[in-house]
Amino acid sequence: MVAPPLIAPVKLFALLRHLGIDQQRVARELGVSHTTVSFWVRGRLPLPEKHARVIHQLVRDTLAASQEAGLQAAEAASARLQAARSPAERETAGDDLQQRLEAFKATLATQSRLVEEWQIEERVMSGQLHQELYEQCRGLGLIGQRQPRPLTPAQRAEMGAAVATIDRCLRQLARLDDTPATLVRDLEEQQAAVDQRLRVVG
C-alpha cells in the first residue's frame, strides 16, 4: 500500500468555510485549540481520524440544513405565487420564485463541487487514489513488457479500462491543484452571484 502523503485538507476546510463553519467553531466542536486546527489546515499536522469523523458529520448535518432551508424558501415563494391575486402580484411573486430557485440551484452546484473535491482529497489523503493509479499503470506496464503481438479483445478491453481509470485519477488530482486563493476567489464569486439573486427578491 502506498503511504498516504501528508497534505493539507484544503478542500475540506474550503467546504467548511462555504457552510459558514470557521476554524474557531471547528476547535470548539472538537475541544481542541485553534492552533491545532490551524496546523491541520496548513498541513503541519495530520487530521486525526477521530476528529475527521466529527468534522465529516458536522459537514453532512450543515449541508442537509442548508439544503432544507433552500427548499423551504422556494416552497414559500411558490405558495406566494399561488396565492397572488392581481397580475402585478403574480409577476412579483413569479420573479421572487425564479430568483430563489436560481439561487438554490447555484448553491447546490457550489456545494456539489466542493463535496466532490473534498471526496477526491480524502482519497488522496488515505492513499487510495494513488494506489489505484499505480495499480493500473503496473497492469499496463506488464502488457507493455510482452513481445509485440496482436492483442486479444480481452487485452484491449483491459487496456482500455486501465487507461480510462488512469485518466480519471489524473483528472481528479488536477482538480486538487487549485491554490487556496483561487478556490476562495471562485467561491466568493459564486456566493456573490447567489447573494445578488436573493437581494433582488429581498
C-alpha to C-alpha distance for 183 and 17, rounded to whole angstroms? 11
Specify the pTM. Answer: 0.74
Cα Dmax for the chain: 80
Domain ranges of the chain: 10-201
Residues with Cβ within 8 Å of 63's Cβ and at least 6 positions away in sequence, in order, are 19, 111, 115
What are the pLDDT tens digits along the chain (202 aa)?
444 456 778 899 989 998 999 999 999 999 999 999 999 988 888 899 999 999 999 999 999 999 999 899 889 989 998 998 899 999 999 998 998 898 888 889 889 989 999 999 999 888 899 999 999 999 888 888 887 888 889 888 999 999 999 999 999 988 888 655 555 566 566 666 656 655 655 5
C-alpha to C-alpha distance for 89 and 83, rounded to whole angstroms? 9
Torsion of CA 34, 24, 65, 124, to 10 degrees: -30
